[in-house]
Amino acid sequence: MSDASTIPISPDDSPSMVLELIYQLKIKDVMTGALITAKRGDSLRHIQGIMRDNYITGLPIAENLRLLGIVSIDDIVTALDKGYIDESAEMHMTRNVIVLEDDMPLSFAISYLNKFRFGRFPVLNKNRELVGIITSKDVIKALLVEMNREVLKLEETQRMNHAAPANDGATELEFSTTRYDFEAAGHASTEIKKALKGLELDPKLVRRIAVACYELEINQVVHSYGGTIRCSIRGDTVTIVAADSGPGIPNLDLALQEGWSTANEWIRSLGFGAGMGLTNTKRVSDEFFIESEVGTGTTVRSVIRIGEAAS
């Protein structure tokens, strides 16, 4: 019985978006709350009728929100086979029921469904009251709905990142950076480099643009409170504008001196903060412009001409 109820998602090793979903969603968001239950004195035949009428394959046996046991379709089949279908649920139900709690993340339900052979788990709240039931169908449905929503969001951001006015063939990309988020640093540059791929530029030009993007991006991550990197490819020029929201550079002449750096030891140990960022950017730019005000922020504009390739 390999396995209709298995959910092909690993709670340890899945794309981060999926992991986020299964840890953020609670079991109570996903379970079926409108519960159908039976009483302990009901006959198995009666329970079979309830299953048939409601298209379900397992029924909790409960008394005043207290879970006593569960009868599954397998129990019904066995009862028919062995001839005790008219006996009470109490005599044949599974009493040792594995349950989930409504506050647990969805990942627990996935682990349980994959680990045990049961197709459903009753859900209890903190007071041990029966509040719902969860099946692999509930899980899959909820995940599909949430993933659809995420994909929609991704498509939106992509549209915004690649919003290109159709008339002049320009491409505009925009990325935001976060202070000390070295995880994401380099993302803007890598994406911009990918966007340039289609233009079949001289690799030397691509390298110059990549240097400017990367240095400006890292500068924001290391030194600013966060900002944006905008890249526009228009006609024969690539313009990169890096604007942050502070703290601003007190002495621009110093900041433009190669080797001058205010980076701390930790940042240097990561291979940054060599005091080469702005000079590297200036060196690869055809036009370089920097403006900074303490308390307001810094804006750097780097223009690199790419000949006729993009027109």
Partner 1 sequence: MTIREAAEALGCEILQNEFEDSDLQGGYTSDLLSDVMANAKSGAALITIQAHKNTVAVATLAALPAIVVCNSRPVPDDMLASAKDEGIAVLRTAESQYVVSGKLYALLPAGAA
Footprint of partner 1 (CB under 8 A): 182-183, 185-187, 189-190, 193, 203, 207, 210-211, 213-215, 218, 270-272, 274, 276-277, 280, 283
Shorter beta-carbon distance to partner 1: residue 103 or 202: 202
| Helix H or strand E segment including 190 | helix 187-197
Instruction: Give the angle 183-199-289 at the CA atoms, nearest 5°.
Output: 60
The sign of the torsion formed by the CA atoms of 172, 173, 174, 179 equals negative
Closest distance between partner 1 and the C-beta of residue 118, in Å?
33
Three-state DSSP state, 176? strand
Shorter beta-carbon distance to partner 1: residue 118 or 272: 272
Residue 68: HSE in the Cβ half-sphere, 13 Å Cα cutoff = 16
Which of the 8 DSSP states describes residue 103?
T
Closest distance between partner 1 and the C-beta of residue 80, in Å?
52
248: Cβ contacts below 8 Å, ≥ 6 apart? 292, 293, 294, 295, 296, 297, 298
Q: Which amino acid is it at 285?
A: S
Shorter beta-carbon distance to partner 1: residue 85 or 218: 218
Instruction: Give the angle 232-291-180 at the CA atoms, nearest 5°.
Output: 75
Shorter beta-carbon distance to partner 1: residue 136 or 281: 281
Token pair listed for 113: 């469904």
Closest distance between partner 1 and the C-beta of residue 159, in Å?
23
Q: Phi first, then psi: what are they for 227, rounded to 5°?
A: -170, -160
Token pair listed for 29: 């968001």
Shorter beta-carbon distance to partner 1: residue 107 or 189: 189
Closest distance between partner 1 and the C-beta of residue 97, in Å?
38
Shorter beta-carbon distance to partner 1: residue 133 or 196: 196
Shorter beta-carbon distance to partner 1: residue 113 or 300: 300
Token pair listed for 55: 């298209």
Closest distance between partner 1 and the C-beta of residue 230, in Å?
18
Query: Rounded to an integer, what is the distance from CA 295 to the centroid of its chain?
Result: 34
d(CA 50, CA 48): 5
Closest distance between partner 1 and the C-beta of residue 114, in Å?
23
Which of the 8 DSSP states describes residue 271?
T
Three-state DSSP state, 88? strand
Three-state DSSP state, 237? strand
Shorter beta-carbon distance to partner 1: residue 26 or 187: 187
Closest distance between partner 1 and the C-beta of residue 202, in Å?
12
Closest distance between partner 1 and the C-beta of residue 195, in Å?
13
d(CA 123, CA 105): 12
